[in-house]
Structure 1
Amino acid sequence: MLDSVKIQRRQSEIRQSLAELVGKDTPTDDETRSMDGLDREYRSNETRYRAALIAEDTERREAKGELEERGGKAWAELVAGFEMRQVALSLDEGRPLDGRTAEVVSELRSAGGYRGIPVPLAALETRAGETVAAGTPDPIQTRPIIDRLFPDSVAAKMGVQLVSIEAGAVEWPVATSGATAGWADGELANVPGPSTFATTDRALKPNNHLGVQMRISRKALKQSGAALEDAVRRDMNSAMGIALDAAIFRGTGANGQPLGIVTGAAAYGIALTALAAAPTYANFLTEIVAFMTANAITAPGQIKALIRPEVFGYLEGALNATTQTTEYFRLAFLLAGAAPSGTFPSNIVVTSNALAAPSGSPAASQVVLATSTGSVPPAFVGIWGAVDLIRDPYSDAQSGGLRLTALTTADVTVARPAQTRILTGVRLA
């Protein structure tokens, strides 16, 4: 029996004895001394009771951690010690559970919600050798959920900045013209006259709303228990990341989507180069020189390249006859300043989500080259507030299921188009 329960029972006995003694009008000296002793013992037991509760709480936590690590055999042994008598007494007179019964009930409550006292089925019935049709026992143990495969987010890798907005619209004024410098043509001549300092506004507006919905069956709720919460959170977060990545680069600007960098290149003023040929090292070098000419970069390593896996496969398979290296090797050496070592350099990002799949005949794709200049990212993504998670237990109430909806508001804008260049018509043959 737990120490706290023993102390509790003793306190009850002391209170009963004190009630009998206090009820007397003229207690004897022995009875008075007895009341003093009982009072001291009661106060001492209060301190011991609090200490016992703290110690037992620590033991319960340790036992819970040990319980979570037990295998099926240990759980079966634990359930074997489950006492239905304790459950009956608890429901009838409020007696606290203890021992293995308390451990089993605590474990069941942590895995799912119960209004009463959860009782394992194994405690109600002992089955001797259940078999399947083939006559061989086939026990099933459910392990942690294995997540779906999702592509990694590429927006952050390309230098896109996430902006958190509480309410309203946010805009960035970008200078388009300003101060001029020149020499005076003669002793009394004036320097070139001043020009207007002009700006244009790049705004983020809360017009685009992204929703992620999930329908959770009763089987999933019962099968996975507490681990389901983490699995659902990871799944919804990844699904939202996929949709945002796709919208940042190839959002149509229609049907509720923001205008993406690639799709809205003309609207943003981004330079487009229609290659209409297989990519080579010379094509990328031409774009890098264009960046330098526009004062956007001072070294090739400041460029980040976004390519499809098919483009990587073509570049890696195209051998240069002069250098006897692949075109991808030359590109990686140019951007990273070193030979590739089996992994992609940090400024070459390969995606199957942010860029559209190759299309046409011959199949062609796109390549996005971007840089961050003067601490200004190539694009901004505005997120309004936090994710609004809505729980709907009613739509699927008939089947015992649950629906979750996560809503977020986002928009995309490009501040300086000179920081981005796009190659289109990048053929794979």
Structure 2
Amino acid sequence: MLDSVRLQRRQSEIRQTLSALVGKPDLSDDETRSMESLDAEYRANETRYRAALIAEDTERREAGEELETRSDKEWAEMMASFETRQVVLALDEGRSLSGQTAEIVQEMREAGGYRGIPVPLEALEQRNTVSTDTPSPVRTLSIFDRLFPTSVASRIGVNSVQIAQGSQEYPVATAGATAGWAATEGGDVPAATAFQTAEATLSPDHTLGAHMRISRKAMKQTGAGLEQAIRRDMAAAIGAELDRAILIGSGASGEPTGIVTGASNTEAITGAATWATFKAEILAFMAANAIADPSQVKLAINPQDWSDLDDAIWDAGSGITEWDRLVKHVGAGNVVKATQLDAGTALLTVTAGGLSPAYLGLWGGVDMIRDPYSDATSGGLRLTGLLTTDLVMPRQAQVRVITGIGSA
């Protein structure tokens, strides 16, 4: 029993006893001494009761913090125990899954949508090993950063969303309250407008496939090292292709429409890029109430354009370049060199009102399927990892594209 509860009950007993004694017209010496003793105990218990409440409140807060993070810790520990090598051997040799790997696969299968063996995205993270070569998996990053630790998309503000099934909508306000002045004394203020929204929807319309071919020699030669090799290759293949599609996906042949491809605010220029070129787009963001300061802008440019800006001298006397002027206002940490972008193309994004410039939807994990026929004669193993995804830009006002940089 808590000390505060025990003390509270004792105080109640003391009050009942005192109330009975106070109601008597004549008190004996023993009853008088009892009243004095109970009164002293009551005052002492009040101090102890307050102290108990303070101590128990601290314990509750610590217990609450532990409860809030316990589920995440337990999930991280389970993901750290997932063995991709078991999946490969199960597909190649028909070996049964065991341990927490089997539990995770069974749980994902119950969610449905997998033809082969499901692999959680967390399992593709790169794991550390100790000096004795004994695997010691450590969960260090979130799911988006784990897949794309050097991703251009994540650095320009694209957010990833895990979706169990179905579609997911993002209502975006397009019209609402208005403010204005009454033209005359007693006149009406401007008429109200209806609050309206437009829905940006993520749907499971696009499937990304990553192929992996493992020779019989590799399976027999590498042993436990196959675990790390599969993680690195699969994560790199998925990360690189998703990053490209997020930026410049064509919207055809199964690809989602990338940010640059789907942007409506595109400015075509001619001539070399200058700070003034980017400043005009930043002013457009400010005019749309998307930002209040240039440092809120994320910029992705091709490395060749960065080189040209760094070579373009703005003030010969001081040696200041156009690149120096750009990073002075935007910040070097907000500029990303993106090899996925064509030379002459720059992408500017902002996060406004808590809404990211684009959202990447991920449905479940990677569906790992074996092809038993293509490499049957050589004894090899061919794997296909399928990932369902989609990309949406809720508000075009948060994205601007510049093309033609450096053109004559």
1:172 and 1:257 map into 2 onto residues whose CA distance is: 21
Residues 89-238 of structure 1: matches in 2 within 5 Å? 152-238=150-236
Summarize deviations over 1:162-215 as a string: whole Å, max 9, x none: 011111111111111111111112222111111111111111111110000011
Corresponding position: 1:347 with 2:347: no
Moved over 6 A (4+): none
Structure 2 distance, partners of 1:199, 1:277, is: 40
Q: Which residue of 2 aligns with 1:247?
A: 245
Q: Distance in 1 between matches of 2:328 and 2:185?
A: 53
- Aligned pair in 2 of structure 1 residues 265, 325: CA closer, same or farther (>3 Å)? same
CA distance in 1, matches of 2:295, 2:334: 8
Q: Helix, strand or coil: the match of 2:252? A: coil
Q: Say whether residues 1:399 and 2:378 are aligned partners.
A: yes
Give per-residue Cα distances to partners, 1:109-152, cap 9 Å, x unaligned: xxx99x9xxxxxxxxxxxxxxxxxxxxxxxxxxx9xxxxxx993
Identify unmatched segments of 5+ residues in structure 2: 1-91, 96-132, 134-147
Shift of 1:395: 3.2
For 1:348 and 1:331, the matched residues in 2 are separated by 9
- Measure the CA separation in 2 of the matches of 1:313 and 1:220: 42
Partner Cα separation in structure 2 for residue 393 and residue 234 of structure 1: 23
Query: How do residues 282-297 of structure 1 correspond to structure 2 at under 5 angstroms?
Result: 282-297=276-291
Structure 2: distance between partners of 1:428 and 1:223? 53
Letter aligned with residue 395 of structure 2: R
Give, in angstroms, the shift of residue 423 of structure 1: 0.6
Identity in percent: 49
Alpha-carbon distance in 2 for matches of 1:278, 1:222: 56
Post-superposition shift, 1:223?
2.7
Q: Which structure features the higher share of helix residues?
A: 2
Contact 1:275-1:423 at 8 Å conserved across structures? yes
Query: In structure 2, what is the Cα distance between the partners aligned to 1:321 and 1:192?
Result: 51
TM-score by length of 1: 0.59
**Alpha-carbon distance in 2 for matches of 1:418, 1:261:** 12
Q: Which runs of 5+ in 1 are unaligned?
A: 1-111, 116-142, 144-149, 337-344, 359-364
Deviations 1:6-63 (A, max 9, x none): xxxxxxxxxxxxxxxxxxxxxxxxxxxxxxxxxxxxxxxxxxxxxxxxxxxxxxxxxx
What amino acid sits opposite 1:367 in the alignment? Answer: A
Which has the higher Rg, Structure 1 or Structure 2?
1
Once the two structures are superposed, the pairs formed by residues 274-289 of structure 1 within 5 Å of their partners are 274-289=268-283
Structure 1, residues 57-85: CA drift from partner, whole Å, max 9, x if none? Answer: xxxxxxxxxxxxxxxxxxxxxxxxxxxxx
Give the counterpart letter for 2:289 in structure 1.
Answer: N
**Matched AA of 1:277:** G
Quote how far apart the aligned CAs of 1:404 are: 1.0
Output the aligned Cα RMSD: 2.2
TM-score in terms of structure 2 length: 0.62
C-alpha deviation, 1:321, in angstroms: 2.9
SS in 1 for 2:153: coil
